[in-house]
Structure formats: C-alpha cells, structure tokens
Amino acid sequence: MVLYIFAAGVVKGFAFALGLSTLIDLAVFFWFTHPMVSWLARFPFFNRGHALSGLSADTLGPDSVSTAGGKA
C-alpha cells in the first residue's frame, strides 16, 4: 500500500499488481494448500515417510541431529 500511495506512473501499476498477487497467494494458501496438506497428512503414505512420497529419511537426510564441535 505504501508503494502504491507514494508511486507515480508505471510503478503505481506494479504496486497494484504486486498487492493483488499477494492477496491471491494468501487466499490460495489458506483455502487450498493448507487444507490439502492437512488432508494428505492423514494417509500413511505421507505421514510414515514412504520412499515415493519424498518424505523418507533417505530423501530428507540424516535422521539424527549432530552437534557442532564434535565429541564433548
């Protein structure tokens, strides 16, 4: 809004498009992406980390966190 208020000419059009696309992005997230991911998380294929889901330990990396500095 600040950019739109203080802009002139073509920059005002860019500010409007930026604001509109931000609002559309938020709507898509709250009304589609979040419910869809919540629904998919109920299935064992995703929540147990099947190899083809992209959420397996091999895909995500090591399953234990190492501390910096080595041995204590």
Long-range contacts of 30-37 (CB under 8 A, 24+ apart): none
The verdict on pTM exceeding 0.75 is no
pLDDT tens profile 14-54: 999 999 999 999 999 999 999 998 998 898 888 888 888 87
Domain ranges of the chain: 2-56
Length of the chain as a residue count: 72
**Among 33, 31, 30, 7, CA closest to 19:** 7
